[in-house]
Amino acid sequence: MASTGSNSTALKRALIFLGPPGAGKGTQAKVVAEVHKLPHLSTGDMLRDHVGRGTQLGLQARPIMERGELVPDEIVLAMVEERIARADCSAGFVLDGFPRTIPQARGLDALLVRRGFGSALVLHIAVAYEDLVRRLTGRRTCKVCGEIYNVYNRAPRVDGKCDKDGGELLQRADDREEVIRERIANYDRQTRPLIDYYRGQSTLVDIDGAADAESVNRAVLAVLARL
């Protein structure tokens, strides 16, 4: 993917990728984190890790995630607070899939103030409904490194194997069509109001997510280069 050559620059602020399921938040957040040498904090990945390890939190989250609903705010906020307190987040971090409700956004605002950060920069990626469903039903993720593929537009060189490490490519449990539609409906109800919340704070930039991932990536990196 594209690089602006600004890869030694720490951003010293929180970046938020906001958008519906399948908008490309994870795809873009990974690249931005790599280019700017910042940790990539995906609440979905953190929760799936808890589910995989069978922790108390994972046992609680699993049925909620399988239904395509949101995990309670207090659980997610506590998880993010603990993660942000680690030393690797002191120069900034990239949030993917958080915040997702107004209480989470308010909780994050308070956390950022406590940790001496300015307001977060929000990159809002918009994509049409039917494209989201197609992207998500085609998504496959490497079991080992988390690299994201798509059977329709970003297929691995060898079917079912990661190009980077040969790891098995898995389909997420919540990427079944009926669950995808529920996740998108929940996005519209609970997360879409964050667009106005952050627009009101003048910290939101709209990104057209309809183009291919590399073009979207160039647009995202160009926004960050202007900071």
List of residues contacting ligand AP5 (CB under 6 A) = 19, 21-27, 43-44, 47, 64-65, 68-71, 76, 97-98, 100, 104, 135-136, 138-139, 148-150, 153-154, 174, 183, 209, 211-213, 216
Bridge partner residues of 149 (DSSP): 140
CA–CA dist 153, 151 (Å, integer):
6
From the list 30, 62, 135, 139, the catalytic residue is 139
Q: In what order do the strands lie in the sheet with 40-42?
A: 40-42, 93-96, 14-18, 121-126, 204-208
Select 9 or 126, whichever has its Cβ closest to ligand AP5.
126
Select 8 or 53, whichever has its Cβ closest to ligand AP5.
53
From the list 25, 48, 62, 135, the catalytic residue is 25
Instruction: For residue 25, indicate whether it is catalytic.
Output: yes
Q: Tell me how far, at minimum, the Cβ of 99 lies from ligand AP5, in Å.
A: 6
Kindly state the tokens that stand for 9: 């620059």
Select 117 or 149, whichever has its Cβ closest to ligand AP5.
149
Contact of 170 with 141, CB cutoff 8 Å: yes
For 87-111, give one letter per residue: b (16+ CB within 10 A) or e. Answer: eebeebbbbbbbbbbeebbebbbeb
Instruction: For residue 183, indicate whether it is catalytic.
Output: yes
Q: Tell me how far, at minimum, the Cβ of 159 lies from ligand AP5, in Å.
A: 15
CA–CA dist 168, 106 (Å, integer):
39
Select 36 or 139, whichever has its Cβ closest to ligand AP5.
139
Select 38 or 136, whichever has its Cβ closest to ligand AP5.
136
From the list 172, 176, 199, 218, the catalytic residue is 172
Q: Tell me how far, at minimum, the Cβ of 47 lies from ligand AP5, in Å.
A: 5
Q: Tell me how far, at minimum, the Cβ of 90 lies from ligand AP5, in Å.
A: 22
Q: Tell me how far, at minimum, the Cβ of 82 lies from ligand AP5, in Å.
A: 14
Does residue 123 sit in helix, strand or coil? strand
**Contact partners, residue 157, CB within 8 Å, separation at least 6:** 163
Residue number with the smallest Cβ distance to ligand AP5: 44
Closest by CA to 174, choosing from 130, 133, 210, 124, is 133
Instruction: For residue 192, indicate whether it is catalytic.
Output: no
Bridge partner residues of 93 (DSSP): 14
Q: Which residues are catalytic?
A: 25, 100, 139, 172, 183
